[in-house]
Amino acid sequence: METELTQRPITILIAALGGEGGGVLADWIIAAATAEDYPVQSTSIPGVAQRTGATTYYIELFPVRAAELQGRRPVMTLAPAPADIDVMLASELLEAGRALQNGYVTPERTTLIASTHRIYTVEEKIALGDGRYDSERILAAAKALAKRAILTDFHKLAANTGAMINAALFGALAGSGILPLPRAACEEAIRSAGKGAEASLRGFSLGYAAAEGKAAPAAGLSTDVDAPADTDIPEAFLAERMRKDFPTEVQEMLAQGVARVTAFQDRAYAVLYLDRLEPIAKLDQARPGAEKSKLTRETARFLALWMSYEDVIRVADLKSRRSRFERVRTEVQAKPGEPVNIVEYLKPGVEEAAALLPPALSRRLVAWAEKRGLMHKLNVGLYVKTSSVTGFLMLRLLAALRPLRRMSARYVEEQALIERWLAAIAAAPDPELALEIALCGRLIKGYGDTNRRAKANFLRIFDTLVDGTTVTGPMERAKAVRAAREGALADPEGRGLEATLATHGIAPLPPQPKIIQFMRRPGAKRKAA
Amino acid sequence: MERQFNAEIESLKLGEGETFHGEGILAVTKALLQSGVSYVGGYQGAPVSHLLDVMVQARDYMDELGVHVEACTNEASAAAMLGASINYPARGAVTWKSIVGTNVASDALTHVASAGVIGGALIVVGEDYGEGASVAQERTHAVALKSSMWMLDPRPNLATIVNLVERGFELSEASNTPVFMDLRIRACHVHGSFRAGANRAPALSTRKLLADPAVFDYEHLPHPPATYRQEKLKMGVRLPAARKYIREHRLNELFAGSENSVGIICQGGLYNNLLRALNLVGLADDFGASRIPILALNVVYPLVPEEINEFCAGKTAVLVVEEGQPEFIEQDIATTLRRADIQTKLHGKDMLVMAGEYSSEVIVHGLLRFCAAHAPHLDTSDGTRWHESADAARARAAELLGTPLPPRPPNFCVGCPERPVFAAIKLVEREIGKRHISADIGCHSFATFAPFSLGNSILGYGMSLASGAGVAPMLAGRSMAIMGDGGFWHNGFLSGVASNQLNGGDKVLLIMKNGYTSATGTQDLVSSPGGSEELAQDRSPVRAERTIENTLRGAGVKWLRNVYSYRVADMTKTLREAFTTDEPGLKVIIAEGECQLERQRRIRPVLARLLGSGARVTRTRFGVDDATCSGDHSCIRLSGCPSLTLKASSDPLKVDPVAHVNHSCVGCGLCGEVAHAAILCPSFYRAEVVQNPNAWDRYLARLRSTVIGWLQPA
């Protein structure tokens, strides 16, 4: 029989992260192909990338049995070439994106089998705000560029069966029907590899069904969002006022906000919340921005977050709630009947104490601590066992300080800053500028040093761009505020912020004073020969 | 060791005619046994680690054959093993990662090459070049040239590799010269098959001892006038002998083609990529039938002038496909052709890129240029079309994606004991300012990536302290060197510590004592902790091991501190002291914490067994309260742990994602320690899940939930 020379090797590229079993997947394919007498070859570049980095495995399979090749052996190459890949497997969405970026996925040839879950890169994770790459863009590109795209959350699929993701991907590869390998041969390859075969076979089976389109492989994004926290229904008179004074588009946000500030302090505090928002809503209606009620909605969001700033009282309250205990149990996958001890890592110090004291006392404490350089020296590292009766009572006791909060220095300080922010929003001559100022509320977050840095950035933007007169013209100012806000979220050292301010000719802040360490420098004493 | 090679060890025992299936580097291992080696040594490193790892694990079988296997402490000690073949008719092989390993080995190599060998000597180097490489990009070829050692670069299929190993020993013996076998990363990791031969028990071995040592022979020593004679022998005797052997045994392969006016000369290792490139251009089929004749050089040094001349004579033009720079082979061919006055046009680096890996795509570009110039009658439109579709795919992807994807470099594993040390360094730098940090080779060099971005230079394995010797005297602030225990034993103690002690240097040395050479696959060191079962689950077993400390004390180090890696606050304090103390001399901090990979590999089966037997086992996990997390990610900037990641906030008010500990957490506790040491936030918690609780646990849990239940809000 003359072999048709039109046959080409089937090329398979696997993009995986170190430790995900990409090598095992390649081995399974090799084993199944070898058992079926197809010439097959795989290569990889694991090296140091096996430590959680991105890596690839490349396989070529010649779809004519060796016995039918009359002694001839195909020459298979060791490295993938762009526009020359039949199956692109990616164990994670960003790595699928990387394959697209490198030209490995083409509409003429490539079936893309990719998991839609994300494992974020360090670069994405260290952003001060939201540094995550837009998954929708990768999905859209995948669908546009692949001949056929099998996209589903293979990670979840596998996890549900106790298998690793490689088993589900192997299943999808087998189910896609591109390889001349029967299902039984693939399953046998898993079985003969031994270890964990049963779980892997379950994962394989689900992957297989997903590729056949049987298991609803929704090409959508896997969501990593928990069900939203229960929102208490606001009391009737508050609900009534919300309906009366605010447009429908912001009701949902308002409900969240009112619930948050009520839980933080009390009913009167919620009234204050609505009082503060009302003029903004009026302004927004009288002078609508590009998106209807966006100013009101975003102000409502950041105002609620700011007004429910995280002090000791709030943290103690949140950590000792029943819902929180249950969440932890789920989070750590504790089985029913398994006791779970929860230990908090708390390290309160002068700052936290000062925040709770009345302003006058607080000032004296801070002055004393600063004079002696003790501001950060007196923090006590506590390991509080919230799940024990004493630990729990300690937190509840702190939470019970809530009625006294209005007298605390931190409360007074936060309210003053909030008023300054709201006044600036209301006073902005243009809706765009008002919105940009409102969105600066996003900068306010964190604890301790982080919170201090965030506020310093916020105030810097206010002093220079909002209240300052360096940039004139509302549109230019709106643009400048947005750039400054993004700059502030670019790095923790404030370089990004200062760089954007410098474009408007604003002189950078003087560098922080540096501590100089004095030490004796021993002369280059040579050992006597 | 990170990987177990039980199945692979079995395939090393295959007999005549059986089929070996497996990885390229393991095929080399099998070929060594088929060649009857007496001794094998080497230093681990991708892509050749497996050669030695499998032999170390197959110690029993090696004993049976009488093969001596040595896991050397560095490449120099491995290369020096080849000294056995100078005086004795024993075959030996050594292996390492190149170019770096070859550099370390080159002193011994020079002397073996000069003295010459009577037993076959093979040096298997993993050429860490191109995609996936982790070292500076240089060619091992240069070392072969300057020491007059021969170099094999076999076609990357198992049968050819195995054949070349066997022929390599014969070539070495026929020409009294050690031989390099150069294998690229992908060739080492290629999975394929070959027809095995029987293993040969070596003639001289641990089982067949020689009664007397070799007789004294001044001619083998590196002293004049013997050295002058050795140099003459290299060129006058050994080189011609090698060429004769190569030609007679047809080590280089000629693949005929119909287009005889042109030809391609390639390194054997690039043959498969070249064939795919020719296939894409439409000039070859999938079975290696190329229209353009190919001379595949399985021996890239020395070339055999007759072979080159015969191939080139009568052709209009020849293309040399040679990866890396400078173009040694092309220059060699040019000299040969010029001397023979053959007027064939010679192309190579003028049509192919000078630097970088020769993928099929790179070769296609070169082929299109070459054909356009010298074979315009050939239809290469397939290649042009393919090339355009690749460009189109990339352009379209770039357009659809909008912004380039973030890179994903390697990182410390979940629970790695080295990560907390870098968190501590970051915290100390906030207080006392930036310091010059000499980094080193090893997992800890991942600290040069985000989020740490620490380390001013890397000068080689174990060289960190030595590389700070010139820097420290110029800087106002005390500088620091970081090395692993692997680096310490590889070179760091002698080049760094001993030199510093001699010169009274005032520096800080931080040694990561994790017990193994972790980056290369957790191979053992002289200071690896012994035993396994009795090693406690909670404590780091490296604590009891004191070889490094004793060695340092023996060298006169006075200021020495051992700190448990995960105690970030303690480490911060110790670092601060080391940087600011008035105490003269070297300040050594030993960061103790067993490699988490190795620890998990050890304790997982123990824990599974305990759990299965119904014993009480506490499982520790860390978590973040997303209600109190404000989404600033300071904790991630100080940790970078893969299990500390992001998730969308469940709070509809918050726009930024919150920190989140995923299920890969091994409970090392770093996130909590960092939160404490840096006074970050109160969001971290430790959860201890009591599995198989006893009666007291159950009673306590009931009591607590009842009392707490009375007072707890929803």
Do B406 and A318 lie within an 8 Å CB cutoff? no
Whole-angstrom Cα distance, residue A192 to residue A175? Answer: 20
Name the nearest CA neighbour of B484 among B557, B418, B564: B418
The pLDDT-based confidence of A225 (bands split at 50, 70, 90) is: very low
Whole-angstrom Cα distance, residue A110 to residue A85? Answer: 6
Residues B133-162 have a mean pLDDT of 96
Residues B515-528 have a mean pLDDT of 91
A515 touches chain B (CB under 8 A): yes
Interface test with A, best of B653, B658, B661, B696 (most A CBs within 10 A): B653
Q: What is the pLDDT of residues A298-319, one digit of tens each?
A: 999 999 999 999 999 999 999 9
Residues A279-301 have a mean pLDDT of 92
CB atoms within 10 A of CB A37: 13
Do A342 and B685 lie within an 8 Å CB cutoff? yes
B614 touches chain A (CB under 8 A): no
Name which of B131, B654, B712 is nearest A320 (Cβ-Cβ). Answer: B712
Q: What is the pLDDT of residue B636?
A: 94
- Judging contacts by C-beta atoms under 8 Å, the chain B residues touching residue A521 are 506
Q: Considering chain A, what is the average pLDDT of its residues?
A: 89
Q: Which of A211-220, B394-403, B661-670 has the lowest mean pLDDT?
A: A211-220
User: For B416, which residue in chain A has the nearest alpha carbon?
Assistant: A51
At residue B649, does pLDDT exceed 60?
A: yes
B309 touches chain A (CB under 8 A): no
Residues B84-110 have a mean pLDDT of 97
Do B684 and A345 lie within an 8 Å CB cutoff? yes
Choose between B404 and B606: higher pLDDT.
B404
Do A7 and B286 lie within an 8 Å CB cutoff? yes
How many contacts does A have with B, using Cβ atoms within 8 A?
Answer: 403
Q: What is the pLDDT of residues A167-186, one digit of tens each?
A: 999 999 999 999 999 999 99
Q: What is the pLDDT of residues A387-435, one digit of tens each?
A: 999 999 999 999 999 999 999 999 999 999 999 999 999 999 999 999 9
The Cα of A469 is separated from the nearest Cα of chain B by a number of Å equal to: 30
The pLDDT-based confidence of A49 (bands split at 50, 70, 90) is: low
The Cα of A435 is separated from the nearest Cα of chain B by a number of Å equal to: 15
Name which of A310, A388, A527 is nearest B628 (Cβ-Cβ). Answer: A310
Q: Which of A50-54, B208-212, B477-481 has the lowest mean pLDDT?
A: A50-54
Q: What is the pLDDT of residues B379-427, one digit of tens each?
A: 999 999 999 999 999 999 999 999 999 999 889 999 999 999 999 999 9
The pLDDT-based confidence of A515 (bands split at 50, 70, 90) is: low
B653 touches chain A (CB under 8 A): yes
The Cα of A169 is separated from the nearest Cα of chain B by a number of Å equal to: 20
Model pTM score: 0.93
Do A522 and B650 lie within an 8 Å CB cutoff? no
Name which of A49, A119, A260 is nearest B132 (Cβ-Cβ). Answer: A49
Residue A190, token pair as written in the block:
């898993």
Please, which residues bridge with residue B563 across strands? B591
Name the nearest CA neighbour of A481 among A509, A507, A462: A462
User: For B129, which residue in chain A has the nearest alpha carbon?
Assistant: A45
A79 touches chain B (CB under 8 A): yes
CB B140 within 8 A of CB B151: yes
B579 touches chain A (CB under 8 A): yes
Name which of A42, A84, A524 is nearest B503 (Cβ-Cβ). Answer: A524
B411 touches chain A (CB under 8 A): yes
- Judging contacts by C-beta atoms under 8 Å, the chain B residues touching residue A529 are none
Interface test with A, best of B2, B185, B570, B685 (most A CBs within 10 A): B685
What are the φ and ψ backbone dihedral angles of A502, each rounded to 5 degrees?
-60, -30
CB B679 within 8 A of CB A449: yes
Report DSSP letters for B316-329, one per residue: SEEEEE--SSS-HH
Whole-angstrom Cα distance, residue B109 to residue B144? Answer: 10
Choose between B625 and A233: higher pLDDT.
B625
Residues B477-481 have a mean pLDDT of 96
H or E segment and range at residue B382? helix B381-401
Do A321 and B693 lie within an 8 Å CB cutoff? no
Residue B529 corresponds to which amino acid? Answer: P
Name the nearest CA neighbour of B227 among B105, B101, B302, B116: B116
Q: What is the pLDDT of residue A402?
A: 95
Q: What is the pLDDT of residue A490?
A: 87
Do B185 and A73 lie within an 8 Å CB cutoff? no
Name which of A256, A342, A520 is nearest B582 (Cβ-Cβ). Answer: A520
Choose between B330 and A8: higher pLDDT.
B330
Interface test with B, best of A62, A447, A514 (most B CBs within 10 A): A447
The Cα of A77 is separated from the nearest Cα of chain B by a number of Å equal to: 5
| CA B483 distance to own-chain centroid | 17
Residues B456-473 have a mean pLDDT of 96
Name which of B676, B680, B687 is nearest A328 (Cβ-Cβ). Answer: B687
Whole-angstrom Cα distance, residue B48 to residue B113? Answer: 22
Alpha-helical (H) ranges within B116-265 are 141-147, 158-175, 185-188, 226-233, 239-248
Whole-angstrom Cα distance, residue A259 to residue A277? Answer: 15
- Judging contacts by C-beta atoms under 8 Å, the chain A residues touching residue B402 are 134, 137
Do B287 and A74 lie within an 8 Å CB cutoff? yes
The Cα of A198 is separated from the nearest Cα of chain B by a number of Å equal to: 17
At residue B309, does pLDDT exceed 70?
A: yes
| CA B169 distance to own-chain centroid | 25
B697 touches chain A (CB under 8 A): yes
Q: Return the domain boundaries, chain A.
A: 10-212, 331-407
At residue A191, does pLDDT exceed 60?
A: yes
Residue B518 corresponds to which amino acid? Answer: S
Domain A10-212 sits in CATH at 3.40.920.10
> Angle CA(B643)–CA(B645)–CA(B647) in degrees, nearest 5?
135
Q: What is the pLDDT of residues A431-471, one digit of tens each?
A: 999 999 999 999 998 888 888 889 999 999 999 998 887 88
Q: b/e string for A236-269 if b means 16 or more Cβ within 10 A?
A: eebeebbeeebeeebeebbbbbbbbbbbbbeeeb
CB A440 within 8 A of CB A487: no
Alpha-helical (H) ranges within B446-498 are 464-467, 485-487
Residue B319, token pair as written in the block:
């293309």
Do B393 and A105 lie within an 8 Å CB cutoff? yes
Q: b/e string for A382-391 if b means 16 or more Cβ within 10 A?
A: eebbbbbeeb
Domains of chain B: 6-199+211-247 (3.40.50.970), 253-401 (3.40.50.920), 435-565+580-599 (3.40.50.970), 616-711 (no CATH)
- Judging contacts by C-beta atoms under 8 Å, the chain A residues touching residue B697 are 339
Q: What percent of chain B has pLDDT over 90?
A: 88
Do A124 and B406 lie within an 8 Å CB cutoff? yes
- Judging contacts by C-beta atoms under 8 Å, the chain A residues touching residue B397 are 100-101, 103, 105, 141, 145
At residue A513, does pLDDT exceed 90?
A: no
How many CA atoms within 13 Å lie on the side-chain side of A387? 20
Residues B582-595 have a mean pLDDT of 95
> Angle CA(B182)–CA(B188)–CA(B193) in degrees, nearest 5?
115
Whole-angstrom Cα distance, residue A146 to residue A157? Answer: 22
Do A81 and B359 lie within an 8 Å CB cutoff? yes
Q: Considering chain B, what is the average pLDDT of its residues?
A: 94
Whole-angstrom Cα distance, residue B190 to residue B187? Answer: 5
Name the nearest CA neighbour of B127 among B187, B183, B49, B44: B183
Do A304 and B580 lie within an 8 Å CB cutoff? no
| CA B425 distance to own-chain centroid | 27
The Cα of A393 is separated from the nearest Cα of chain B by a number of Å equal to: 8
Interface test with A, best of B20, B191, B587, B705 (most A CBs within 10 A): B191
